Structure 1
Amino acid sequence: MVGAPPSTHAEVVVDLGALRHNVRRLRELVWKGSPTGQVMVVVKADGYGHGMVPVARAARSAGAEWLGVATCAEALALRAAGDAGRVLCWLAAPGTDFAPLVEAGVDVTASSLDQLEEIVRGAREAGEVGRVQLKVDTGLSRNGAPRSEWLALVTAARSAQDDGAVRVTGVWSHFACSDEPEHPANAAQQEAFEEALALAEDAGLEPEVRHLSNSAGALLHPRARYDLVRVGIAAYGFSPAPDVVTTEQLGLVPAMTVRGTVVLTKELAAGAGVSYGHTFVAEEPIRVALVPMGYGDGIPRHASNTAEVLVNGVRGRVVGRICMDQFVVAAPETHAGDEVVLFGPGSHGEPTATDWARWCGTIDYEIVTRMGGRQTRVWVGEEGDE
């Protein structure tokens, strides 16, 4: 059998030790020793590109009481991987069969009367009590029941609970502007959430957890922490509001490093154009290095002629358009075989995902989540290594 050709050594390296540190640090920042405050680590979208199952295990070992996912398939994948703790999922299309989720002990979200009815049907098919959390739209205008349906939803949920079909375990919502502390929407949403909680209480519901705050809400809005906070991007080591408080100020450590290998170098004469469209033309002789990674691997094309990488401990700028499989870097004193770090925690002078987000006019959530393609994902910092 003919062996596979050597890889191009493009890697996404995930430091699980950093992730555990972040979860513990966030608990310290948010709950300050409170014995009752709970933390949910959101591991949707394959753990924001870090690998859902390894991240989930690291989060649990760091004390996360809950895991959060978007889809039903993600929740069932966690169960298949052996996770037995509390898991909440919140996105399901009409017609979803909730019976497998009820059987797996997953907390599922009802964002409408119709969805609640489907969950009740699934619980009856499963022959078990379903765990349901009611999501109310307090101003994000995305998922969640609108205010006009809150009374009907909590009333129907109480009826289904009295019938023994479900147990209402939570009431929750989601901030729209929590990364802007002075935005008036924050106070308005919390006031609306309090109204929804009062309706649930009047209906006789006693949810185990009430939660409104995402990462920014947890860190910047103490009054909105309630029983549980949902931390997503902060668990992966990034400030959810970098213009308000930096990652370094929070004491968080980015868990992802993306690196590759130079496969070719060459000297270009003044006037030479680089890559498609010659959007970069050398004004003087320069040495360039070819990196075999591109937008097919999640490297944003928007970073063309803007982003920087670290080669041999020195920053080099991406020149020319980033292609599907490769990009070019202006990098003197570079040779084939040298390591290129696209981004990492920044502790060795390399750019961070936040830097790449700024260069691309986006957010670091998008940068880390899109990494993949032909890159090999490697996990380091297993608990036994500490």
Structure 2
Amino acid sequence: MSETAMPPATPPRARAEIDLAALRANVRTLRAKAPGAAFMAVVKADGYGHGAVACARAAVEAGATWIGTATPEEALALRASGGLPADVRVMCWLWTPGGPWREAVEAGLDVSVSGMWALRELVDAARTAGRVARVQLKGDTGLGRNGCQPGEDWAELVGEALRAEAEGLVRVTGLWSHFARADEPGHPSIAAQLGLFREMVAYAEGRGIQPEVRHIANSPATLTLPETHFDLVRPGIAMYGVSPSPALGSSADLGLRPVMTLTAPLALVKHVPGGHGVSYGHHYVTPGETTLGLVPLGYADGVPRHASGSGPVLVGGKWHTVAGRIAMDQFVVDLGGDDPGAGAEAVLFGPGDRGEPTAQDWAQAAGTIGYEIVTRIGPRVPRVYLHASM
């Protein structure tokens, strides 16, 4: 085992172990689901909380040839890190007026545009930079977020992109869209969106657009909808070993291994009598004499407060549940009389190999999704990278 981030000499208050070997294996599993398509590793939101640079490098080692981010700032930081081969393409798609268009053009990023204002700002940046901008046109096929509306809006965007391309200012490298309900097997919106995407692509290509890639497949579509793979797939959460939806199966069912394990040493173990209130509001009162363990993690670290009274934790080989309110920096578990001692490991979630909870267990406890559980783990928790070298 090797690590790119060594734990400090003083034991950390908590740590998130990031198993890069598991990430590489997940990338290979996902690539095998779409053998005819290029692979974009999505590392937005700091790699879904796992660390964008380290995860991007590991994904490339496993065969990814594209990296995807949401914001241009994320993409520019990746390019500036020097950790990616020059031939790996980096794409970003969430822009606001006045964004760093020129910097993106000069860095050779593939940038997405969904409307005329964005295309105009990109063209101006290309003129200023004296370089051809790489642009991908996004169509709204039914998600109702970003993306150009079909019909007249799409026709106008395609036409202006072609004019800019004829002037040598842009190169249209891709046509793409995003599913709304690909994680719901058999939902009729999937076929409707796919059909509209084909129509929008056909229109653009019929007018002269020659994209390098056409893509719409996110994690669930990559795993279960081969007809959506086109030229490129862009898995996000599945790359980190978290199932996109319980409806599709568990991580193990999908052949994926969770990458993050979140642990902390108990800061205190103490004996208390029955009737003892625990944490703010005394929403939990000990039913009898017991021991309480203090876990030094809280909602400031990303542990969801909505999991108060329900979040699972493994201590000493046994599952325990958060007792009372999760506070900003700490929470309590009722150890039921066990006394593992201060410093004993509390495992909030991991792959489940040792019987520990998973991110999906915490998602269920908090009434949310696995995506949020891993992504929200904050910067106060150091990331320790395992198996950084292949």
- Smaller-chain TM-score range? over 0.9
Q: Which residue of 2 aligns with 1:120?
A: 123
Q: Which residue of 2 aligns with 1:73?
A: 73
Q: Could you tell me which of 347, 364, 374 is aligned with 1:341?
A: 347
Measure, in 2, the Cα distance between the counterparts of 1:266 and 1:182: 52
Q: Which residue of 1 aligns with 2:98?
A: 95
TM-score (norm 1): 0.95
Letter in 2 for 1:197: V
* Contact 1:12/1:372, CA 8 A, preserved across alignment: no
Q: Percent identity?
A: 53
Gaps spanning 5+ residues in structure 1: where?
Answer: none
Q: Which residue of 2 aligns with 1:351?
A: 357
* Aligned-pair CA distance for 1:137: 0.4
* Aligned-pair CA distance for 1:296: 1.0
Q: Which residue of 1 aligns with 2:28?
A: 24
Q: Could you tell me which of 211, 214, 220 is aligned with 2:218?
A: 214
Give SS of 1:383's match. Answer: coil
* Contact 2:26/2:240, CA 8 A, preserved across alignment: yes
* Contact 2:18/2:261, CA 8 A, preserved across alignment: yes
Measure, in 2, the Cα distance between the counterparts of 1:19 and 1:284: 44
Q: Which residue of 2 aligns with 1:144?
A: 147
Mapped pair 1:133 → 2:149: no
Letter in 1 for 2:44: K
* Aligned-pair CA distance for 1:241: 2.3
CA offsets per residue over residues 134-172 of structure 1, 9 Å max, x none? 001000000011114111111111111111101100000
Q: Which residue of 1 aligns with 2:326?
A: 322
Q: Could you tell me which of 97, 106, 109 is aligned with 1:106?
A: 109
CA offsets per residue over residues 187-238 of structure 1, 9 Å max, x none? 1111110111011111101100000110011112111111111100000001
RMSD between superposed Cα atoms in Å: 1.4
* Aligned-pair CA distance for 1:6: 4.9
* Contact 1:298/1:373, CA 8 A, preserved across alignment: no
CA offsets per residue over residues 236-286 of structure 1, 9 Å max, x none? 001112222221011111000100011111112111111111101111211
Q: Which residue of 1 aligns with 2:168?
A: 164
Q: Which residue of 1 aligns with 2:371?
A: 365
Q: Which residue of 2 aligns with 1:180?
A: 184
Letter in 2 for 1:29: K
Letter in 1 for 2:46: D
TM-score (norm 2): 0.94
Gaps spanning 5+ residues in structure 2: where?
Answer: 1-7
* Aligned-pair CA distance for 1:351: 0.3
Q: Which residue of 1 aligns with 2:4?
A: none
Q: Which residue of 2 aligns with 1:193?
A: 197
* Aligned-pair CA distance for 1:8: 4.6
Q: After the TM superposition, list the runs of 4 or more consecutive aligned residues in structure 1 that deviate by more than 3 angstroms.
A: 4-8
* Aligned-pair CA distance for 1:174: 0.2
* Contact 1:275/1:320, CA 8 A, preserved across alignment: yes
Number of residue equivalences: 377
Mapped pair 1:374 → 2:380: yes
1:265-280 aligned at under 5 Å gives the runs 265-280=269-284
* Aligned-pair CA distance for 1:29: 2.1
Measure, in 2, the Cα distance between the counterparts of 1:268 and 1:321: 18
Letter in 1 for 2:177: S
